[in-house]
Structure 1
Amino acid sequence: MTMGVANLYRSAALGLTLLLAPGLVMAQQAINPAVFQVLSAAQKAQQDGDLGKARTVLSGALDSAAAGSLELALIQQRLGYLAIAAKQNRQAIDWLRKALAHDQLDAPAARQDQLNLAQLLAAEGQYGEAARLLERVQAGGALSLEQKQLLVQCYSQAREYAKAIPLAEQVVRANPAADDVWYQLLVGMNYQQERYDSAAQWQKVLLKRAPQNREHWRQLAGLQSQAGKQPAAAATLRLAHEAGVGLTQPDLDNLVALQVNAGAPWQAARLLEELMAQKLLPVNAARQERLAQLWTLARDRERARDAWVAVANGSGRSDHWLRLAGIQLEEGQWSDLLATLKRAQSGASSQQRQLIRQWEGYARSAIENNS
């Protein structure tokens, strides 16, 4: 990413709020009394802090539980929560997957297990799978604000920005005092989707929160320019200057350069033009030449031609006249081309003279063929 937006684009930290045990949910379902005793003994051992004993008790009962049964699901579920308590996320993921696969747990227990499994998957960087799991949970009932936040984070990390953006908007509208990172996330995701206007609107929230932060002004101007609103971008920089947090001339020149790096030479040229027009950047020969180069790079021939005329008239340099001649050659403006080449003669190098003679030949031949 460009324009420094990459510095803003980062996900909020994933905060795990996993249950260390699902409680005696199994007591609400009819299960084999022997398995209930095993589960109870394992839970007591865990509560006493003896995770090894709890795991041994549960592991010993695995083979006696029927395949696909509720009893097997409950044992695997408990092993999953033991792994969580031991901070063994990958083992916990494996056990909870197995427990849920039987489709035997009652709805509240299964939902909690799915939520915890989604958080484990996210913590292990498996964001796409975590997002799919949270989508299934959401289909069965609305997510809490905290759970929506987790889903946004998973979508954003999986680069599913189109899904993440509307959900992130729900998060900040439900809690306008949300941390800056949520607004930064919205700026970054909208930027990735090339929704520069929307990115600029969220950037304004950050600017309002910290108006003395110079970077916020720069980011906003960059986004406005990327959206093709160069006058608005220049106005933003003017306001920053009037607020006493204006950017230096090198900062403004760099902002133009960043537009070029973003693959937007036309926007860069318009921004430079506006900055000079509003006297935020002084007009000098180097910037006039840069403007002509940018219009040429943007393939806006009319503006490029006018810019090179101004530059060449100011400098009288052969290379500047030849830049103008190149545009006239491309457009087939043969008479104008001959006049420009004549002006390029003075001070031309031997290599430039050779090019001038070659182009004069093209122009005269074209005029003769058209006469």
Structure 2
Amino acid sequence: MPAPRDIIPEVSDGIYLKIETVGKLLDDEKFDRALVEMRQLEKRSLNKYERAAVWQMIGYVNGVLGNTRLAIEHFEKALAAQALPQFAHQGVLYSLASLYSGEGEFQRAIDLLQLWFQYEDEPAADAHMLMGSWYVALSQYDDALPFIRKAIMLSELPIESWYALEVNIHFSQGNYAEAVPILKSMLSYWPRRPRYWNMLADAYLQLDNEKATLDVMMTAYNNSQVTDTQRIMALVGLNMAHDTPFTAGSILENEMIAGVLPDDLVNLKTLLQIWLSAREYGHAIATIEKIFAIENDGSWLLRAAKIQVKTGEWRRAGESAERALDAGVDNPVSALLLQGMALTELGEFAEALVIFRKVAAMGDEEEQQVAAAWIRYAEEEINYQQQFAVASGK
């Protein structure tokens, strides 16, 4: 297509008045009447410029009325006439390119806009983005990126969809390193977008930088931007992998309390393992109580008793062991041993002897040996206390 030229339009007075009348109709949005007037004008004897101008106007009105193919036809005629001044020629090129893109003819749209770029002194950001988006429509991402970047650079204000388009291209091509700085910029403008936090975390994960992934997800979580349950569980897992079990447990427990994650057995058992890993035994006992409330299985209380023995909470250990026996356990002897040990440590030797003698009567050989050792110890303590009482005159 020939280049636009600096043409000085020549318009007769009669034609000028007619065009002026049509212009007023267009200003008043009386498009149907304007189209009738221009059709009549088209039939008259016109010079080259006048005819090109009429075709341009007919193309414009048909575009407004949604008659795309007619608009394209008349814009093409206007360009082919090679009679429009440069500013008008450029306007028709731009409009025609947009119409072709609307019809899905992106390559034709690109070809026309490339001509427009050649003769446009300072193409605006929107024009660059149009070209970039049309290349994207043809899956020509490498050609699209320079135009999209230029559009972003020229734009006075950040436009979210433009940034998102570039990021999506990088993700589709696996260029995660290039996506990272763009996503960081996006989050500086739009920090309340969970999707961008997720994409940044995913980009770091694809780059085998789990620590950065964890940092991003924790920042997002602390700003209430991790709302997807799978993402929350992934964050719990990442904290466990990076040896921060207390944080993992706090997240899981808080989300269960908030109702974001179900307070079910699967999550409770996961939470218990996390608290045990973190050596947060108080939290672990509280979690066991919740599990027991659902399953009513005394083995959970037996597990609580073992933890309480480990932490020296003898009174509570004895109570947990007794509750385990009441609820029923597969091996009651284990619960009796724990109960007896707790009573012994509390100095309640007579009560402990009763328990250990039950173990001696019920347990297997190994359990009987353990019970016998505790019985000897309890009896020695009782004898010592009696001797001390006699010696002190009590």
Q: Shift of residue 113 of structure 1?
A: 1.4
Q: Distance in 1 between matches of 2:27 and 2:193?
A: 50
1:330 equivalent in structure 2: none
Matched residue type, 2:83 = Q
Paired residues for 1:217-256 under 5 Å: 217-241=197-221, 245=225, 250-251=230-231
1:117 equivalent in structure 2: 96
2:35 alignment partner, one of 39, 52, 55: 55
In the alignment, structure 1 segments of 5+ residues that lack a partner are 1-25, 256-271, 288-371
Query: Would you say how many aligned residue pairs link Structure 1 and Structure 2?
Result: 244
Q: Shift of residue 220 of structure 1?
A: 0.8
Q: Shift of residue 145 of structure 1?
A: 2.4
Q: Shift of residue 184 of structure 1?
A: 1.3
Deviation string for 1:279-303 (max 9, x for gaps)? Answer: 5779x9xx9xxxxxxxxxxxxxxxx
Q: Distance in 1 between matches of 2:225 and 2:22?
A: 63
The 3 A distance-change label for structure 1 pair 246 and 39 is closer
Q: Distance in 2 between matches of 1:53 and 1:107?
A: 28
2:81 equivalent in structure 1: 102
1:140 equivalent in structure 2: 119
3-state SS of 2:84 partner: coil
The 8 Å contact of residues 240 and 247 in structure 1, kept in 2 or not, is answered as no
Q: Distance in 2 between matches of 1:187 and 1:87?
A: 33
Matched residue type, 2:70 = Q
Q: Distance in 2 between matches of 1:165 and 1:209?
A: 21
1:192 and 2:207 are equivalent in the alignment: no
Q: Distance in 2 between matches of 1:114 and 1:95?
A: 12
2:10 equivalent in structure 1: 30
Q: Distance in 1 between matches of 2:165 and 2:242?
A: 34
Q: Distance in 2 between matches of 1:203 and 1:245?
A: 15
1:173 equivalent in structure 2: 153
TM-score, normalised to structure 1, is 0.54
Matched residue type, 1:104 = A
In the alignment, structure 2 segments of 5+ residues that lack a partner are 1-5, 250-265, 271-394
TM-score, normalised to structure 2, is 0.51
Q: Distance in 2 between matches of 1:51 and 1:214?
A: 46
2:63 equivalent in structure 1: 84
1:155 equivalent in structure 2: 135
Q: Distance in 2 between matches of 1:59 and 1:27?
A: 24
Deviation string for 1:121-174 (max 9, x for gaps)? Answer: 344444333222221111112312232233333333333322222222223233
The 8 Å contact of residues 141 and 169 in structure 2, kept in 1 or not, is answered as yes
2:144 equivalent in structure 1: 164
Q: Shift of residue 65 of structure 1?
A: 5.2
Matched residue type, 1:276 = A
Q: Distance in 2 between matches of 1:174 and 1:84?
A: 28
Q: Distance in 2 between matches of 1:245 and 1:85?
A: 43
1:131 alignment partner, one of 110, 114, 118: 110
The 8 Å contact of residues 7 and 86 in structure 2, kept in 1 or not, is answered as no
Q: Shift of residue 41 of structure 1?
A: 4.7
1:204 equivalent in structure 2: 184
Q: Shift of residue 73 of structure 1?
A: 1.8
The 3 A distance-change label for structure 1 pair 209 and 82 is closer
Q: Distance in 2 between matches of 1:58 and 1:218?
A: 56
Q: Distance in 1 between matches of 2:28 and 2:197?
A: 56
Paired residues for 1:238-317 under 5 Å: 238-241=218-221, 245=225, 250-251=230-231, 276-279=241-244
Relative contact order higher in (CA < 8 Å, ≥ 6 apart): 1
The 3 A distance-change label for structure 1 pair 128 and 173 is same
Q: Distance in 2 between matches of 1:47 and 1:245?
A: 48
The 8 Å contact of residues 39 and 78 in structure 1, kept in 2 or not, is answered as no
Matched residue type, 1:159 = S
What is the alpha-carbon root mean square deviation over aligned residues? 3.9
Q: Distance in 2 between matches of 1:176 and 1:71?
A: 38
The 8 Å contact of residues 230 and 274 in structure 1, kept in 2 or not, is answered as no
The 8 Å contact of residues 65 and 71 in structure 1, kept in 2 or not, is answered as no
The 8 Å contact of residues 124 and 154 in structure 2, kept in 1 or not, is answered as no
Deviation string for 1:328-351 (max 9, x for gaps)? Answer: xxxxxxxxxxxxxxxxxxxxxxxx
The 3 A distance-change label for structure 1 pair 32 and 240 is closer
The 8 Å contact of residues 53 and 84 in structure 2, kept in 1 or not, is answered as yes
Deviation string for 1:316-368 (max 9, x for gaps)? Answer: xxxxxxxxxxxxxxxxxxxxxxxxxxxxxxxxxxxxxxxxxxxxxxxxxxxxx
The 3 A distance-change label for structure 1 pair 276 and 50 is closer
- Give aligned-pair identity as a percent: 19
The 3 A distance-change label for structure 1 pair 27 and 78 is farther
Larger Cα-atom Rg: 2
The 3 A distance-change label for structure 1 pair 138 and 275 is farther
The 8 Å contact of residues 190 and 199 in structure 1, kept in 2 or not, is answered as yes
Matched residue type, 1:207 = L
Q: Distance in 1 between matches of 2:226 and 2:33?
A: 65
The 3 A distance-change label for structure 1 pair 107 and 231 is same
Matched residue type, 1:233 = T
